[in-house]
Amino acid sequence: MKQYFIYLILATGVSFNHLSAQDLSATEIVKKADEKFNGEKSSYSLMSMTIIRPGWQRTIDFKSWTFGRDFALTLITAPAKEAGQSFLKRGPEMWNWNPSINRLIKLPPSMMSQGWMGSDYTNDDILRESSVVNDYDHSLEGEEVVDGRLCHKVRLTARDDADVLWSRQMWWVDKKDFIVLKAELYDEDDYLVRTERGMDLKTMDGRLIPTTIELVPAEQEGHKTVLKITEIKFNITVEESFFSQQNMKTIR
């Protein structure tokens, strides 16, 4: 889920419909799960993110557009104080436009591990700098039942040359529909950092996906971030030129 859920940037586009679940390797399972969100040329989505802390919570609404793996644009639409902020990814470069201070900021690699908009998601999650398909090795760890659905349990181990935040991930992937129902993310010392759950399965634009994703940090009691997908469309008409610094200042 991790980089799996947010920002819906394209995966490889490979189809495995001719293979049965028993024939699939761990890598093919990860690819199929990734394609649930990322298997098309472009996308548009409406989402809300609720940040929950002991004693308070707040919700941020946003729109996002993607084109392949290299282009993404997100616009904050609510609350009013943050509305109009936008985030742009073009290849390895990323920017934030803040209209309240009329400033465009390029995000350095050192900021990828920081929380996005004060949430438990990182900038890397939102801007999808790393790839669960290409930056990790995959192995099957058996089967388990999650929320009444039989799942592949898959281990993702970061490759030595991969520049990623998570040294290891564990995924529970539904065997029937290849939906990630649970994920655990571990740091370089192999400590569990957070757990994510995919819930409220619905068909959107012809695809069964979890429309609620709950992220719970491992060592921060009372902290949680809940992402809800209101709308998502795949293969929209959009060009590379849409993802520009100029457009991120004027997009609505």
More confident residue, 14 or 75: 75
pTM: 0.83
Decide if 180 contacts 170 (C-beta within 8 A): no
Q: What is the CATH number of the domain that holds 70?
A: 2.50.20.10
Comparing CA positions, the residue from 3, 31, 244, 2 lying closest to residue 128 is 3
Residues 6+ apart with CB under 8 A from 43: 8, 37, 64, 65, 66, 232, 233, 234, 235, 236
Task: Measure the CA–CA gap between 245 and 210, rounded to whole angstroms.
Answer: 32
State the DSSP code for 15. -
The pLDDT assigned to 39 comes to: 60
Q: What is the pLDDT of residues 23-57, one digit of tens each?
A: 799 999 999 998 876 667 899 999 999 999 999 99
Which helix (H) or strand (E) segment holds residue 249: the answer is helix 245-250
CA separation for the pair 184, 111 (Å, rounded) = 22
List the structure tokens of 26: 């761990």
Cα separation, 246 vs 94, in Å, equals 14
Domain count, the chain: 1
Both tokens of 8, joined, read: 């819906």
Chain centroid to CA 83: 21
- List own/partner pairs for 190-199 with CB under 8 A and 24 or more apart: 191/218, 192/218, 193/166, 193/217, 193/218, 194/120, 194/218, 196/1, 196/2, 196/5, 198/1, 198/5, 199/147
Q: Per-residue confidence at 111, pLDDT binned at 50, 70, 90?
A: confident
> What domain range is 184 assigned to?
2-250
pLDDT tens profile 176-230: 999 999 999 999 999 999 999 999 999 999 989 999 999 999 999 999 999 999 9
Q: Which helix (H) or strand (E) holds 69?
A: none
